[in-house]
Amino acid sequence: MNGPKRIVVEYEDGTRREAPFDGLSGQGAVELSALGLCDAPPPDASKGYLLLQWKDGWKEVTAVDNRAVEVLRYYTIERTEEVGRLSVEMGDAYSELKLIKRLPGRVESILFVGRHGPPQAYVLEEKTTVREGGKTEHIFYDKKRPNFAMENGSAASARYSMILDALRKELEKRAVPVRSLLGAGAGEHRALYGELARALGLRGTERQQDVYGFLHTAIEKLGADSD
């Protein structure tokens, strides 16, 4: 395999410093690929993904550890500014916390696509407000409270099917077979994944690479369904 081995930084006085390429983080490799210096790392289809949708139609994807089981809680904390907190249950570890900064009080739904089990869907509705000191918590979902519940399995599957159908149509427009993507390298389909993300209105909460991983997971599902 003809992959990059080292990264070199050259200073104005001619000094050069080098380091092994495989010491880069995934995000570092993504940023170098955006400069055209290397191929992008492959989408990480071993993770789970959360798709958040806002009332104004904005959609974001964020990756979670592959041990993620379900959403525990979504609430906002209002001080001088409001920030959303999304807590995800892990199978054998402490819960994972995601901070949602874009209009956190207007997120309307969450779709969780994990590595194990069917998709899960959560419709967010503020039902509880807790005031303590100088902060106010607006609670939109809490697994431990009886007045909250995730959507049933058929509703969650229907939400995911809408995304899969839209993705299938975009691939058909481009005459791209699903199986050709499953076998391709990251450098071959990165540009296409960017087009698909724009067509489906998907953006990364923290990293655009999370969107590509979500798309790759969905493409794997399309491939499995066609068997």
Domain ranges of the chain: 1-39, 42-227
Percent of the chain with pLDDT over 70: 83
Looking at residue 179, its pLDDT comes to: 86
Looking at residue 94, its pLDDT comes to: 83
CA dihedral 52, 119, 86, 190 (to 10 degrees): -50
Mean pLDDT of 140-148: 92
DSSP string for 140-204: EEETTSTT--PPPHHHHHHHHHHHHHHHHHHHHHTT--HHHHHTS-HHHHHHHHHHHHHHHTEEE
Question: In terms of DSSP H, where are the helices of the chain?
Answer: 26-34, 153-173, 178-182, 186-200, 208-226
Name the helix (H) or strand (E) containing 74. Answer: strand 68-78
What values do phi and psi take at 84, rounded to 5?
A: -85, 145
- Which of 99, 215, 92 has the alpha carbon at shortest distance from 164? 215
> What is the rounded CA–CA span in Å between residue 213 and residue 227?
21
Residue pLDDT, tens place only, 38-50 = 666 555 556 889 9
Q: Beta strand pairing status for 128-132 and 135-142? A: antiparallel
Q: Is pLDDT above 90 for 113?
A: yes
Per the document, the length of the chain is 227
Q: pTM of the predicted model, to two decimals? A: 0.71
Q: What is the DSSP letter of 93?
A: S
Mean pLDDT of 135-163: 93
Residue 14's beta-bridge partner residues?
A: none
Least confident of 83-87, 131-135, 137-141, 143-147: 131-135
Name the helix (H) or strand (E) containing 99. Answer: strand 96-100
The mean of the pLDDT values for the chain is 85
**Other CB atoms within 10 Å distance of the CB of residue 214:** 29
43: amino acid identity, one letter: P
Mean pLDDT of 82-105: 89
Residue pLDDT, tens place only, 2-44 = 667 777 777 766 677 777 766 666 656 666 665 666 666 555 5
Residue pLDDT, tens place only, 154-204 = 999 999 999 999 999 999 999 999 988 887 654 568 889 999 999 999 999
| Residue 121 contacts residue 136 (beta carbons within 8 Å) | no
Q: What is the DSSP letter of 127?
A: -
Residue pLDDT, tens place only, 73-83 = 999 988 768 89
Looking at residue 191, its pLDDT comes to: 85
Looking at residue 10, its pLDDT comes to: 73
C-alpha 211: how far from chain center: 5
Mean pLDDT of 215-220: 91
Percent of the chain with pLDDT over 90: 51
Looking at residue 109, its pLDDT comes to: 96
| Residue 99 contacts residue 76 (beta carbons within 8 Å) | no
> What is the rounded CA–CA span in Å between residue 222 and residue 227?
9
> What is the rounded CA–CA span in Å between residue 86 and residue 215?
22
Looking at residue 195, its pLDDT comes to: 93
